[in-house]
Amino acid sequence: MLLARVPPPSPSAFNSPTISVRAFHRRRLAAPGAAATAASKSPSLRVGQKRKQVASVANPLVKHCVKLRDSAAYRRSCRRLVLVGLAPILEICRLGLAAIDCLLLLDGAEVPGELHELSGGNVVYVSATVMKKISGMQSVDSTEAIAVMHMPKHFCDLGDDEGGAGLDASFQSPKRILVLDGIQDPGNLGTLIRSACAFKWDGVFLLPACCDPFNEKALRAARGASLQLPIVSGNWCDLHDLVTRYGMKMLAGHPESSSDGSERTHTLSNELADSLMSESLCLVLGSEGNGLSEETVQACDLVSIPMEGEYLLY
């Protein structure tokens, strides 16, 4: 493929954590004394240490977690994020991508030894009502764990940081940068970040109107990629600074049959791909509903990917 630097890793690299989810055993408490027995056996408790429990949705920790889940601004101010579900938590911990600030487990669950170590023993057992409140889900059948994690250091919001310093800290002599223009669906955003990571690109640049990459759905779709790939959020001035600073060529994916700019859209070919192999590139992809912004259409060389058979554009 034109812009791929190396072949993507096998799906197993993302889908087979070394810590099995099946090793996470949930225990239903059958008798009043069972809670004390489970607590005494839990690896999260030291001798004389009390089991941390939260049963009320009015607890400050619960309010903090809900705000982290719902507010991108609050996540960025705290440099923390919420990850829901045991499978993604285990996957990200397997890759060693982020430190666990606090691990919340459904009351009656047993913490795996590996997660106990990574959480520093900061484990809190919560009621089903609290788990539903924090996760935003109606059922807790598949939601026995939630982790509050540190936001990766290589995430940079240029609206808060110095532009040049932030770019230099995140992108060091980049050759391939994926630029997302108004991607609003968190699942799509996470999948695109995961694809950039799979092809070993150097980072992702988010233009305004993109959803937050640390939205819970985006995190789940990225499968850990957003915690290992440099991500920068900025505006068009910041992007022009990046392009100028590193001498990058700007391409944008564009439907050949679209009315805006189609007369100067190039069809992707082997010849075009070969001519770009030694270039430093930014590839801009537009939103699902609106396509590319006018700024992108004017600033980039437009490239369409030929498709076999008949298809419809909506």
Name the packing angle between helices 163-170 and 236-246 (round to 10°).
60
Contacts of 48 (CB under 8 A, 6+ apart): none
CB count within 10 Å of CB 6 equals 8
Give the residue from 194, 198, 189 showing the smallest Cα distance to 1.
Answer: 198
Q: Tell me what the mean pLDDT of segment 266-283 comes to.
A: 85
Segment 201-210, tens digit of pLDDT: 999 999 999 9
Domains of the chain: 53-150 (3.30.1330.30), 155-304 (3.40.1280.10)
Segment 186-239, tens digit of pLDDT: 999 999 999 999 999 999 999 999 999 999 899 989 988 999 899 999 999 999
Whether the model pTM is above 0.85 = no
pLDDT of residue 258: 54
Tokens of residue 287, six digits: 């939103």
pLDDT of residue 137: 85
Task: Determine phi and psi for 16, rounding to 5 degrees.
Answer: -130, 75
pLDDT of residue 2: 47
Contacts of 277 (CB under 8 A, 6+ apart): none
